[in-house]
Amino acid sequence: QVQLVESGGGLVQAGGSLRLSCVASRRIFDFNYMGWYRQGPGKQRELVAGISSGGSTNYADSVKGRFTFSRDNAKNTVSLQMNSLKPEDTAVYYCNAKYSNGIRVDDYWGQGTQVTVSS
């Protein structure tokens, strides 16, 4: 069983910054994909940013140029640096890891961390 533990959420004013971190209980380079998702009030969960096992990153259009995804294999940690935060970034942010054995894909989720951006 894989555990993902997020930290770094909080309350910040618009224009401010936060850094989210996610520590995995196993080697992160074992995963096929790791990402950050978020779910705002009354909204569906959406992908914010992620990285494939090959190192390719992808970002939602709404966060491009403001958010940066990074990983530290030695610490089994992925992070999301969020700059120029906007009120619409307010959401619960979840760390996700996907592992495939070629037959099925297992999805693992963290417990979520609240990010609130005040105007």
pLDDT in tens, 16-75: 999 999 999 999 989 999 999 999 999 999 999 999 988 899 999 999 999 999 999 999
β-pairing verdict for 10-13 and 113-118: parallel
Q: Which amino acid is at 9?
A: G
Cα(95)–Cα(79) distance, integer angstroms: 9
**How does residue 97 score in pLDDT terms, banded at 50, 70 and 90?**
very high
The four Cα atoms 2, 22, 112, 93 give a dihedral, to 10 degrees, of -130
- Check whether 90 has a pLDDT greater than 90: yes
Residue 102: pLDDT band with limits 50, 70, 90: confident
Least confident range from 10-14, 77-81, 98-102: namely 98-102
The encoded tokens of residue 13 equal: 């004013």
